Structure formats: structure tokens, C-alpha cells
Chains A and B, each alone.
Chain A
């Protein structure tokens, strides 16, 4: 395996060929915000928070997907990127109904954390107050579409890790919704194994355990990376 040397925000870093800019940035403790990305799931580059500037490349590139290259000079925190990231977070807050005070994930929400990180104290864009339903048909878990940011982590973990493929994205554009089965109530989908992986990977309070109330949803994603790595080594099949 060969190695590529590059510069990220002035830090020189050597990475194995094929690794991503995101991994390289984390190696040198350069924080790049992410939402749709999760170690152990396939990258989709949909949230656009991890976009970075690469010298000599006219287009912004997603760090979660772009492989390192020799001599690359990467900037992750320019004023332009800071503004774009804040706008992305504002777009996410305004397209749903995110009321932190009454949310199960309050205090442990990745969207909330990103908002703090990018310095979003208010939204410059108007709130859209969409009318979205809540699905409480599953015996253990609930899905509150008001809090969903369509990161598709649940879709991917169910398909790629659990192998049940309960979740999908329905419709398009502003009407996109996460759907269970063929747009059935979650509780009516036989394919669901009740494993709860989707709840665990959800960055917000959209998917939650019914036993939790405000601020009680605590998630830890470390298990996913560990599970995927163990499977890759043939140590664990479940």
C-alpha cells in the first residue's frame, strides 16, 4: 500500500492511498463538520457540510468521499465554507420543525451540535413550518418526520448492516420522506427485525425509543464502526 502526502489547513499529513480527506483531517485533528456521514456506512455526500476547498480545483469537494492525492493542498475552514455551512444548517432547521426544548435528543443531537459549531444563533432564512406526521405504529420505536433531516443513515444501516432494508426515501425534492416498507406504517412492516440500529444512528430525535422523553435519547455510534470492522475481519457475523 502506498502513501500520499498532503496538506490540510497547513498541517502536513501522510495517508494510505484510497483514504478520504475526512479521515486525513481527523488524523491531524482538523474538525470538519458532518451529518450524513457515519463510519461503517457507505458515504453519500448529501448533507454538503464537509465540502472543502482544494487548491487548483474550481469545485468544492466532499471530504467524506474525496480520496487523498499527492501534494493536495486542502482548506477546510475558509470564510466562504463557514458561511455555506451555516446556511446548510439554517436550511435544515427551516425545512423541518426542530423544537429542541421538547425533543428526545435535546443535548445529544448532532444537528444541534453542528448548529452550535457553525455559530448559528438564529436563522436568516424564513421557517417553513411544514405539516409532517409522526409514526408511532412500531411497538418500541417512533418516527417523528418533523425532526428528520433526510441524512439516510437509517436507510443505509438497515440495508447495509442489518440487511433488512425496511427504510427508503419516498417522493422527491421538498416532499421527500423516509418511508418504511412500501410507505406503510412502520409497525406493519414484517421485514423490521426490531433491532433498533436505525434509532441508534439517527443524528436527531427523528427516530427514537418510545421509553425516552425530552433529552433522554443518548446515542453512541462507536458500536457501528466496531461491528463493521469485526465483520470485515470475520470475527463477528451478527
Chain B
């Protein structure tokens, strides 16, 4: 009984906490100061069509670096905790049709993932989404039970190479432009608005993030389910 009362009190407290948001809610008709700075800066200074990408990669670039680091630590934790045991595989083999179909789809899904992270500055999506899509392609191979041994040295190399390269690109900003421009994409020419090779280093950085996320999540998936 007392437990129920406490649950109800907690719910009531949550309602009281969120009530002001509901009461003061109104639709904004125009952008605020910071948002209009982002939108105009993204179009005029960075030549990037997708404002979300330019916020994630440039204006909040350091946060993205931290996010990627958190993902790396999570992968390291999973790899440390779930060390592989030798288990005999006795599950039923999947049919020829399923195996061939998933091998066909694998290529298409990888291609879509690469498209999403290379076009991060033009269309919605970017490194994280593309990387997860690449992981899904490997997941399809695991689920279809194709006898597949992941080459862990290649995964490890791609992961650590992209991590180091990301920081090096950031340091190039300090070297070439100035003290306050870690991860500034203007180290490469900005190009024409709306072209694939534009927006400075944004496509490069997002491709690196895509490779890093893809290889890390593939390692997690392989550790958890690939046995």
C-alpha cells in the first residue's frame, strides 16, 4: 500500500515538473538568435546544405568527438566482458535461398550506408546513421548463418585509424587556421554549394565517423551474437 502511494507521489512530482513546459508552450514563428546564426553560418560560411550536419560536425564538433569516444569505450567494455568461449555450433543450417539473398542484399545495404555518410552535408543522415546501416548489413550475414569469420585485425585497424585521423584533422585546424579552430572544416577548399566535394572537411570527417561507428558496432554485434 505504501509502495503504491510512493509511486503515485513520484508520478505526481513528474507531472508538476513537466507542467510548466506544457503551459508555456507556443509555436515559434521565427528562429531565435542562436538558431539563425547557425542557419546563416551553415549556408554562407560552410557551404553545407544540411544545417544539422554543420551543427554536429562543426559548431558542436568537440561534443561529437566525445560521443565517438564514449562509443569506443562501450565497445572496449563489451569486448572485455564478453570474451568468446569455444562453443560447438549445432543450430540448423539456413537454406540456400536465404544465404544467397542476404549476400545479394549485403552489397546494397553497404552501398546505401556509404551513400548516407558521404552525402551527410547534402541530404539527411550522416556518419552515425550510415555506420549503423553498415552494421546492419553485417548483422544480416550473421543472422543468415553464413559461415563467416570476421577479420578482427581489419576491423581493429579501420576503427583505430579513423579515430586517430579524426583527431589529426582537428589538429590541422589549429595548425593551419588558428588557436580557436580545432575541427574547423575550412582547412580544405569550401567548393560550390550543393556539390559532393564541398563544405570543406565535413564529408571527410563524417566519412571517418561512419567508418568508426560501423566497425565498432560490428565488433559489438560479433561479440554478442556471432558464435
**Are A and B a genuine interacting pair, yes or no?**
no
B residues near A (Cβ < 8 Å) are none
A residues near B (Cβ < 8 Å) are none
